[in-house]
């Protein structure tokens, strides 16, 4: 009887923008340790995928990682596995970029390890039916997705074994189903339990293939795993058990499993793993989904109906988080421009740095949110924006401002993108607002903020953080990240009424204050905050955005004229006209911006002539009669200055979101807010204010 082949794959990844100490700890407590333990068992062979951002960082700081992998690859123990080099979601980027990502990874693996990778690690296992054609063109022979993908296609075998062929436009690739049982058992159950599970598979399906492929961070980085995997010896005990059972069980990489014929043909629907599809749903839909699934589970029918209970699509994150959509669509726009100037060379290793930066900014982690982190980490978003801006800055720029009008974010409205030699400004018709404020020389996105929004877990004060497991899936080791419980909410979450962007129009009474605005309980007297403005270009360096609406029930009109006469400078004239005097209401223009660190001494406000005050970015306060103020980042050497006429009262406050981390709910700084306001004039139907923003 042929031995059972356990296809074993490890996926090691860290996103661009992660903190140096986090990367260092990950390499020393996980990535190097796992290789050393596997090296003690040379007969156990496996596939290893290491993402491009991690490879780049380790090449500079831990070159011994590449040396270890190359040695293990040369003796046939490790199969280095390909993928998109910067770990993009392939269906979310242009075809040209997807091919460039895959080819760059293949070239890098050949340079580092002397291997031509035919396998591909599919980031977050996000599958779409047209992918086989793309993968085949890129030289990919096989990949792996969760077994749930196969169940969605109608397969019922438990556990799922073998591998299948799928195709698009007659371009075929092999697809391996990753066992969900093994994903949850390894490394959380005792090796003897896992051996018994595999023995049952072998007896039921003699000579078959079963696939395990999952995050390498489970071997040392996930909470509690370092002590369990290394100090208590789980990994050595597991590999020892594999060796002891070698008469019927063999650990192999994906390429070796391909020596056996495919189990059959299949067409997989658009899907990702179960948890990801849940997270991509709107918050309210997640709660309904969990309620339905819980009801079915209590009735003992979950396994029967699981293939028909599924969440949304990965791309739904672009709707759930418009900040993610803006990053993605800005990336696509810059990618088109860069490809025209820097086409991909025949040798991917000779790719221009501008092209690499486009690909870097496609690293998926900052584009979504699930169990923890993701888009809520401003350092990850900053890395995406910085790479994009560096790519854009490498392109030829006109000495005079260039105004483009097109639907950048694909929402049905033409946005306005204005480029000069040192800055990019982006305007949205909804609210007549500024959504992009980019400093090219310093690669900084001032607009990189995040809205405070409802998340499903805000309504689950106690209990499992993520998709729960069945009772029979209890384990012997540390809790999986899907089981980690979190503390209840220490405070009531506050949700923003709209996006955190700039030049937002507020009309409010004299009783309002900072606390009411930050608590989202102020009374808005106008309907301009989210109203759609008309836009027209009035000169080569000027646009006008205007809207008729209501203020305190009266007809009114707001006109904003944005001018771009000097590089790095935006001059705005805002005119409010009403059918009757609006006093004692106030008009406010709201701004949202970030210098990333809330309390670092080198990130601060400047209010000339206003004396001493708490000037850090997390400070809250109000200052009257302000004609000029600025924010300054001495670490990056960048700043933004406001010039105001007539002088305004300025309120400022930090913006914190409440999101889930590995073990608890925590407040995360996303940026700062400033409101410039003026009283409407007594006996006057109009108010005109001038605000000039200048890059420092």
- The structure tokens listed for 50 are 């290491």
CATH number for the domain including 604? 2.70.98.10
Q: Among 142-151, 557-566, 634-643, 678-687, where is mean pLDDT lowest?
A: 678-687
pLDDT at residue number 322: 98
Q: 405-417 pLDDT, tens per residue?
A: 999 999 999 999 9
| Beta-carbon count within 10 A of 561 CB | 17
> What is the average per-residue pLDDT within 506-518?
97
Task: Single out the residue of 367, 333, 354 nearest to residue 15, CA to CA.
Answer: 367
pLDDT at residue number 486: 47
Task: Single out the residue of 44, 420, 483, 40 nearest to residue 236, CA to CA.
Answer: 40
Q: 94-115 pLDDT, tens per residue?
A: 999 999 999 999 999 999 999 9
Rounded distance between C-alpha atoms, residue 168 and residue 266, angstroms: 11
Cβ atoms of residues 20 and 54 within 8 Å: no
pLDDT at residue number 311: 94
Domain boundary among 272, 302, 333: 272
Indicate whether 471 pLDDT > 50. no
Helix (H, G, I), strand (E, B) or coil at 154: coil
Residue with tokens 């040392």: 220
Is 573 within a domain? Answer: yes
pLDDT level of residue 475 (50, 70, 90 thresholds): low
Structural domain total, the chain:
2
Is 333 within a domain? Answer: no
Burial track 73-109 (b if 16+ CB lie within 10 A, e otherwise)? beeebbbbbbbbbbbbbbbbbeeebbbbbbbbbbbbb
Is 387 within a domain? Answer: no
| Beta-carbon count within 10 A of 422 CB | 17
Domain boundary among 250, 272, 294: 272
Pairing mode, if any, of strands 686-695 and 569-578?
antiparallel
> What is the average per-residue pLDDT within 594-609?
97
- The structure tokens listed for 216 are 């390498």
Instruction: Name the residue range of residue 524's domain.
Output: 504-695
pLDDT at residue number 1: 74
Indicate whether 380 pLDDT > 60. yes
Q: How far is CA 445 from the centre of its chain?
A: 16
Is 677 within a domain? Answer: yes
> What is the average per-residue pLDDT within 14-38?
97
CATH number for the domain including 222? 3.20.110.20
Indicate whether 483 pLDDT > 60. no
- The structure tokens listed for 430 are 């909804």
Burial track 194-203 (b if 16+ CB lie within 10 A, e otherwise)? bbebbeebbe
Domain boundary among 224, 245, 272: 272
Query: Is residue 247 annotated as part of the catalytic site, yes or no?
Result: no
Residues 6 or more apart in contact with residue 495 via CB below 8 angstroms:
452, 453, 454, 520
> What is the average per-residue pLDDT within 40-59?
98
The helix (run of H) or strand (run of E) holding residue 24 is: helix 20-26
CA angle 675, 677, 678 (to 5 degrees): 175
Is 281 within a domain? Answer: no
pLDDT at residue number 470: 39
pLDDT at residue number 480: 64
> What is the average per-residue pLDDT within 301-309?
89
- Catalytically annotated residue among 66, 124, 240, 476: 124
Helix (H, G, I), strand (E, B) or coil at 581: coil
The helix (run of H) or strand (run of E) holding residue 113 is: helix 95-113
pLDDT at residue number 685: 87
Q: 193-243 pLDDT, tens per residue?
A: 999 999 999 999 999 999 999 999 999 999 899 999 999 999 999 999 999
Quick one: what percent of the chain has pLDDT higher than 90?
A: 90
The helix (run of H) or strand (run of E) holding residue 239 is: helix 234-244
Task: Single out the residue of 169, 171, 255 nearest to residue 209, CA to CA.
Answer: 255
pLDDT at residue number 515: 97
- The structure tokens listed for 455 are 């998340």
Cβ atoms of residues 587 and 577 within 8 Å: no
Indicate whether 489 pLDDT > 80. no
Is 132 within a domain? Answer: yes
Is 43 within a domain? Answer: yes
Task: Single out the residue of 148, 121, 124, 115 nearest to residue 135, CA to CA.
Answer: 121
> What is the average per-residue pLDDT within 115-122?
97
Helix (H, G, I), strand (E, B) or coil at 240: helix
CA angle 624, 627, 629 (to 5 degrees): 90
Indicate whether 465 pLDDT > 50. no
Query: Is residue 200 annotated as part of the catalytic site, yes or no?
Result: no
Q: How far is CA 35 from the centre of its chain?
A: 28
Indicate whether 257 pLDDT > 50. yes
Is 487 within a domain? Answer: no
Indicate whether 468 pLDDT > 90. no
pLDDT at residue number 609: 93
Task: Single out the residue of 248, 527, 576, 564 nearest to residue 427, CA to CA.
Answer: 564
pLDDT at residue number 260: 94
Quick one: what percent of the chain has pLDDT higher than 70?
A: 96
- Catalytically annotated residue among 215, 275, 577, 666: 215
pLDDT at residue number 306: 86
pLDDT at residue number 660: 81
> What is the average per-residue pLDDT within 658-686?
89
pLDDT at residue number 485: 46
CA distances from 520 to 191, 458, 496, 552, 671 (A): 53, 17, 6, 19, 16
- The structure tokens listed for 434 are 């500024």
Q: pTM value?
A: 0.95
């Amino acid at each position: 009887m042929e031995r059972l082949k356990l296809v074993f794959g490890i996926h090691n990844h860290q996103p661009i923008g992660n903190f140096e100490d986090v990367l260092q700890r990950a390499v020393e407590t996980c990535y190097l340790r796992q290789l050393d333990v596997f090296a003690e068992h040379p007969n156990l062979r496996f596939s290893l995928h290491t993402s491009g951002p991690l490879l780049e960082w380790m090449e500079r700081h831990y070159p011994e990682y590449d040396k270890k992998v190359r040695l293990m690859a040369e003796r046939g123990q490790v199969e280095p596995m390909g993928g998109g080099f910067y770990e993009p979601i392939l269906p979310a980027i242009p075809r040209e970029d997807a091919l460039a990502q895959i080819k760059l990874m293949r070239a890098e693996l050949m340079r580092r390890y002397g291997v031509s990778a035919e396998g591909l690690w599919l980031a977050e296992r996000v599958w779409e039916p047209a992918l086989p054609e793309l993968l085949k063109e890129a030289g990919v022979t096989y990949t792996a997705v969760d077994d749930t993908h196969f169940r969605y296609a109608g397969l019922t075998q438990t556990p799922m074994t073998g591998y299948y062929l799928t195709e698009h436009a007659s371009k075929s690739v092999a697809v391996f189903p990753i066992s969900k049982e093994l994903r949850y058992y390894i490394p959380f159950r005792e090796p003897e339990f896992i051996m018994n599970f595999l023995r049952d598979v072998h007896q039921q399906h003699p000579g078959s293939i079963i696939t395990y492929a999952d995050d390498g961070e489970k071997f040392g980085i996930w909470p509690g795993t370092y002590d369990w995997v290394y100090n208590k010896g789980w990994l050595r005990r597991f590999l020892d058990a594999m060796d002891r059972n070698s008469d019927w069980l063999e650990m192999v990489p994906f390429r070796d499993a391909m020596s056996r014929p495919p189990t059959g043909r299949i067409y997989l629907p658009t899907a990702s793993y179960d948890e990801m599809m849940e997270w991509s749903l709107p918050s309210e839909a997640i709660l309904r989904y969990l309620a339905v699934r819980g009801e079915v589970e209590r009735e003992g029918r979950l396994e029967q109906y699981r293939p028909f209970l599924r969440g949304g699509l990965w791309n739904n994150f672009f709707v759930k988080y418009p900040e993610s959509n803006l990053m993605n669509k800005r990336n696509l726009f810059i990618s088109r421009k860069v490809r025209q100037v820097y086409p991909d060379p025949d040798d991917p290793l000779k790719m221009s740095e501008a092209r690499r930066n486009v690909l870097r900014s496609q690293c998926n982690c900052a584009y979504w949110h699930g169990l923890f982190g993701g888009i809520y980490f401003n350092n990850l978003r900053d890395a995406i924006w910085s790479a994009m801006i560096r790519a854009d800055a490498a392109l030829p720029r006109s000495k005079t401002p260039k105004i483009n009008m097109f639907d950048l974010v694909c929402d049905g409205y033409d946005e306005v993108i204005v480029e000069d030699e040192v800055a990019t400004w982006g305007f949205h018709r909804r609210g007549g607002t500024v959504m992009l404020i980019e400093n090219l020389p310093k690669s900084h996105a001032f607009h990189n903020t995040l809205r405070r929004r409802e998340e499903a877990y805000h309504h689950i004060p106690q209990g499992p953080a993520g998709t729960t497991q069945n009772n029979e899936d209890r384990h012997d080791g540390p809790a999986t990240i899907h089981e980690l419980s979190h503390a209840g909410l220490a405070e009531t979450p506050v949700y923003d009424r709209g996006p955190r962007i700039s030049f937002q129009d507020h009309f409010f009474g004299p009783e309002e204050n900072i606390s009411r605005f930050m608590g989202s309980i102020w009374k808005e007297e106008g309907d301009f905050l989210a109203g759609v403005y008309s836009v027209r270009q009035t000169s080569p360096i000027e646009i006008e955005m205007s809207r008729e609406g209501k203020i305190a029930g009266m007809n009114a009109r707001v006109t904003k004229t944005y001018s771009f006469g000097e590089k790095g400078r935006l001059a705005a004239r805002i005119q409010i006209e009403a059918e009757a005097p609006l006093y004692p209401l106030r008009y406010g223009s709201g701004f949202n911006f970030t210098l990333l660190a809330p309390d670092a001494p080198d990130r601060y406000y400047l209010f000339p002539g206003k004396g001493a005050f708490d000037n850090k970015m997390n400070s809250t306060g109000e200052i009257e009669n302000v004609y000029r103020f600025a924010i300054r980042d001495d670490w990056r050497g960048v700043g933004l200055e406001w010039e105001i006429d007539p002088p305004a009262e300025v309120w400022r406050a930090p913006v914190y979101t409440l999101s889930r981390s590995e073990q608890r709910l925590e407040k995360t700084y996303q940026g700062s807010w400033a409101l410039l306001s003026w009283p409407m004039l007594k006996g006057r139907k109009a108010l005109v204010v001038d605000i000039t923003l200048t890059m420092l």
